[in-house]
Structure 1
């Protein structure tokens, strides 16, 4: 079966039994209060953490059956934070995304350079290519790290708060990019905090207390009664052109 699927994921940490699937060509936004297990779930789906119970399937095979390079060719992962190569140039950082395709000797081919150029272009980071990663602003760094994940040309993309540190213009560009990637057949799972950003996705899932408590199309999930039960009575929802718009009253 095509897709990335979690079945009965219990543990580590906050996860208490999660079933979730990302299909090719769709964008799934994952919402939830702090501490609900969103980042942990992404790490399980990326193969970086092993669940205490349950299993992750990738295109019909258990994720653990894949070697690290075959898995990295299929799955791109952008964590919320982590150790990054501050002393490398932006272009060198993005080229790291091609390592899973280059084999033991790391020989670069034309398709590697083309993928790097494409990733730099679509993330708006081509002008930064000769800057060191450690000299960039938080927003610039975020876009470069997204470019590194995209350079692998993965079939599935796992993004933990990809709009963090970005100004409004670049938030809009990244969200449009995610929609565009899904149209290209990529399955996208993004952790987001803003319900209005999540409303742009094809589907929304809400994680609370280590479980998925709601899942479906944005207009079915992002309702005022549900969001008020999740975030408080000040939340209001208005439909604008059929899409939920979430705001705070007063």
Structure 2
């Protein structure tokens, strides 16, 4: 069965029995207040955390049935933060995304070099390739780390707040890139804070206190009653060209 799927995932931490599937060629946006379990769910679906109950399946097989390299060719994860090799050049950081194909001692071939060049260009980071990671701004670093995830040419992409630190122009570029990847058959699951970005996805899933409380098309999920329950009574929703537009009253 195609897809990346969490089935009855409970624990660690906040998760309380979550079922969520991402299909190839589909973008699913994951919303929810802080502490609702969004990052934990991504880490479980990436194989970085083990659930107390339930399981994750990748293309019909339990995730743990894959070796780390085989899993890395299918599935890439962009975390929200963490320690990174500040002393490496940007191009070297992105080349780390090819490790699932090379192993620890493998030699790069033409396909690897092409994948790295494509990933840098796609993420808008090609002009940074000769810079040290530690010299970059937050937005520049975010684009480089996205390029590293893309370098594996994964079938499924898990992104934890991919537009963090990016200005409005580069946020739009990331959204356009996600749409292009999805059109090529990549399945994307992205944690987002902005419901207006989530409105551009195929499906929206909403976590609250570790439970999936809503899932479906953006127009069906991004409603005033639900969003007010998450973000406060000032939230308003208007439909513009069939898509919900979320704003604060006053």
Quickly name the TM-score band, shorter chain normalised.
Answer: over 0.9
Shift of 1:103: 3.2
CA distances 1:104-143 after superposition (whole Å, capped 9, x unpaired):
5321011000000100111111100000000000000000
| Correspondence for 1:87 | 87
CA distance in 1, matches of 2:95, 2:103: 14
| Correspondence for 2:60 | 60
CA distances 1:25-80 after superposition (whole Å, capped 9, x unpaired):
00000000000000000000000000000000000100011111100110000001
| Correspondence for 2:221 | 221
CA distance in 2, matches of 1:104, 1:116: 17
Normalising by structure 1, we get a TM-score of: 0.99
Shift of 1:246: 0.1
User: RMSD of the alignment, in Å?
Assistant: 0.7
Unpaired segments ≥5 residues, structure 1: none
Shift of 1:232: 1.3
Range with bigger deviation, 222-231 or 78-87: 222-231
CA distance in 2, matches of 1:39, 1:226: 21
| Correspondence for 2:244 | 244
SS at match of 1:47: coil
Shift of 1:223: 1.0
| Correspondence for 1:188 | 188
Unpaired segments ≥5 residues, structure 2: none
Normalising by structure 2, we get a TM-score of: 0.99
CA distance in 2, matches of 1:39, 1:80: 8
CA distance in 1, matches of 2:204, 2:104: 39
| Correspondence for 2:169 | 169
| Correspondence for 2:126 | 126
| Correspondence for 1:109 | 109
CA distance in 2, matches of 1:116, 1:154: 13
Alignment length (residue pairs)? 250
